[in-house]
Amino acid sequence: MYGMEQINTATGFANAKFGSSKGQGAKGFDEPEIRILELSKYVIKFELLNTDLSVANSLRRIIIAEVPTMAIDLVEVKENTSALHDEFIAHRLGLIPLQSFNVDQFNLSDQCACSSMCAQCSVQFKLHAVCSDRDQMEVNTRHIQPLSDAPIIPVQYVNDKGIEEDPILIMKLSKNQQLDMNLVARKGNGKIHAKWSPVATCQMRKEPIVEIDQDKINRDLDIEKRKEFVALCPREVFAFNDYRNAVEIENSDKCIQCIECLRFAQANNLERAVKIAEREDKFVFTVESTGVLTPEDIVSRALQILMRKLYELGTQMKKYGVNAD
Amino acid sequence: MSSTRKSQVQSSKVASEQIKTQKDIDMESDEDRNDENRNDNQQQSRPKLSIQRQDGDNTNATYSFLNEDHTLGNLLRNVIIKNNQVEFCAYSVPHPSEPIMNVRLQVAPSCGDTKKVLKHGLKRIAKMSDVLTEKFQNALDKYENRMSD
Ligand code: SF4
Ligand SMILES: [Zn+2]
């Protein structure tokens, strides 16, 4: 059994860390805010405000590992006379991003009613390439031919100007080598294997707070030292105002909490003049899609997955005879 | 005659063994379990959520979640611990390759039942994710309006 002391520690910790636990609605948990900072074809940046680290982290984890997509999962090798061995090519094929806007049409293969595979849980492709008339040939995603009319195809990247980029290179063949494979794409998520993760990066950071006591710094440091102070920050958070000969904060958002400025202040007996911290209730997300889904779609799917998860657990709780009150 | 060589390669080897150990689950009769299998085409032998606790003591329990991990565990713990009737709440993932997450919950005798507290925690997260979904849609609309202006 747990001793009384331990229980008290736990409660004490809870109170200390999460502020007043008076009532059930600790501030800022039920009223989160979202603000979108940037949205492009492959990247979304947004702020999540008035919320807890655990919420932001759950969202991040779901985006990376629980948003389902399609990826090549089974490769049948009929002919491979290339320099690369079968598994090596199969692994490369698995990592090719496939457009997954219609992923909801499909079942996870272990939950499908069929015995091995069917049109509801898999998409078939053919990869056939022969190098006969050249010394060398590139095999790329354009060689992957769908065998059904399911709209799952390798992602075609477009650059900022809307021009199509080169297809993804899979491998090279030299003269008289050939490749003949059947590919099967299946639905999955990043928990099973990273190839199903819809994002290249999903990072989350707390917003930095940088405060300086301008009066003190500009009074106690000579001009050379002030310039030194501005220059030591690796992220150019501070600026030197030539009219006032004073240090100013230019862009506190760039700060990476390296505390170089704090150390400088301490060395010059100005401990109190510089303050570096992070906001505990604001998170800046950068989600970069691999192209399988649009970035805004990834985030809203992630939120829906969280909702569905809780709905399922809610029905499970009902089975235990707990009513919704 | 083409001498084709056939080999099948799975491009990821997935450990899809299911954990079949059925720990003691109270409050669930056999009929319930059959019912669940009929509704679920997943046919897991283990329910998504099971309770381990001592008979007649409702103030503490360990809840076992199937197919959950830190994503839900940490979130749930942080919500539940804000309830001041809770004396102890922590979660653990016993082993990273087992799809299981446990939540240990102890509440004050005046509160009565851990199930209520857990239910309340789940409901609060559900409400919050509801709000988040809506807020995200609004933010998107707002952003698109701002861009088209
Ligand atoms: S902590 Fe580092 S990055 Fe941040 S303001 Fe100071 S010197 Fe610049
Ligand atoms: Zn099927």
Cα four-point dihedral sign A188, A191, A197, A198: positive
Q: Which residues of chain A have pLDDT under 70?
A: 1-30, 321-325
First to last CA, chain B: 66
Which protein residue has the closest C-alpha to ligand 1 atom 2?
A258
DSSP E strands: which ranges in chain A?
A: 33-39, 43-49, 69-80, 122-130, 136-140, 144-146, 169-174, 178-188, 199-212, 238-241, 246-249, 274-289
Residue B38 above 60 pLDDT? Answer: no
Residues A182 and A218 in one domain: no
pLDDT at A10: 30
What distance in Å separates residue A75's CA from the closest CA in chain B?
5
Domain count, chain A: 2
Residues A130 and A150 in one domain: yes
- Which of A10, A57, A309 is nearest residue B87 as measured by Cβ atoms? A10
Which CATH number fits the domain that encloses residue A191?
A: 2.170.120.12
Contact, A295 vs A287, CB < 8 A? yes
Residue-wise pLDDT for A204-216, tens only, equals 999 999 999 988 8
Residues A248 and A149 in one domain: no
Q: Are B71 and A61 an interchain contact pair (Cβ–Cβ within 8 Å)?
A: yes
Whether this prediction's pTM lies above 0.95 is answered by: no
Residues A253 and A270 in one domain: yes
Residues A43 and A125 in one domain: no
Cα four-point dihedral sign B24, B25, B31, B34: negative
- Which of A14, A36, A86 is nearest residue B81 as measured by Cβ atoms? A14
pLDDT at A322: 54
Q: Are A46 and B8 an interchain contact pair (Cβ–Cβ within 8 Å)?
A: no
How far apart are the C-alpha atoms of A140 and A236, rounded to whole Å? 43
pLDDT at B39: 42
Phi-psi sector, B39: left (phi>0), alpha (psi -120 to 50), beta: alpha
Domain boundaries, chain B: 1-45, 47-148
DSSP state of A269: T
How far apart are the C-alpha atoms of A198 and A295, rounded to whole Å? 9
Residues A156 and A256 in one domain: no
pLDDT at A321: 58
Q: Cβ contacts (< 8 Å) between A110 and chain B: which residues?
A: 16
Ligand at minimal distance from the CA of A234 is 1
- Among A195, A223, A254, the domain boundary falls at A195
Residue type, position A255, single letter: C
pLDDT at A8: 28
Q: Give the helix ranges, DSSP H, for chain A.
A: 4-17, 53-65, 86-94, 214-220, 223-232, 260-267, 295-319
How far apart are the C-alpha atoms of A92 and A198, rounded to whole Å? 16
Q: Are A86 and B9 an interchain contact pair (Cβ–Cβ within 8 Å)?
A: yes
- Which of B9, B119, B125 is nearest residue A317 as measured by Cβ atoms? B119
> From the candidates A15, A31, A111, A322, which should be mutated to test the interface with B, based on the most B CB atoms within 10 A?
A322
Residues A247 and A153 in one domain: no
Residues A234 and A272 in one domain: yes
Residues 6+ apart with CB under 8 A from A255: A208, A210, A233, A235, A237, A276
pLDDT at A1: 30
Q: Are A320 and B135 an interchain contact pair (Cβ–Cβ within 8 Å)?
A: no
Written as six digits, the tokens of A74 are: 């089974």
Best substitution site from A233, A254, A274 to test ligand 1's pocket, by max atoms within 8 Å of Cβ? A233
Q: Which of B11, B110, B35 is nearest to A315 (CA)?
A: B35
pLDDT at A203: 93
Residues A233 and A161 in one domain: no
Which CATH number fits the domain that encloses residue A228?
A: 3.30.1360.10
**B141 pLDDT band (50/70/90 cuts)?**
very high
Residue-wise pLDDT for B93-119, tens only, equals 999 999 999 999 999 988 878 888 999
Predicted ipTM of the assembly: 0.81
Residues A212 and A245 in one domain: yes
**B77 pLDDT band (50/70/90 cuts)?**
very high
Q: Find out if CATH 3.30.1360.10 is the number for domain B47-148.
A: yes
- A92 is in which domain, residue-wise? 69-195
Residue-wise pLDDT for A256-314, tens only, equals 999 999 999 999 998 889 999 999 989 999 999 999 999 999 999 999 999 999 998 88
Residues A162 and A84 in one domain: yes
**How distant is the alpha carbon of residue A266 from its chain centre?**
37
Q: Are A77 and B5 an interchain contact pair (Cβ–Cβ within 8 Å)?
A: yes
pLDDT, averaged across chain B: 77
pLDDT at B11: 65
Q: Cβ contacts (< 8 Å) between B136 and chain A: which residues?
A: 34, 46, 299-300, 303
pLDDT at A29: 63
pLDDT at B107: 92
* A276 CB near ligand 1 (under 6 Å): yes
pLDDT at B6: 60
Residues A189 and A274 in one domain: no
Distance A111 CA to ligand 2 centre (A): 8
- Residue A74 within a domain: yes
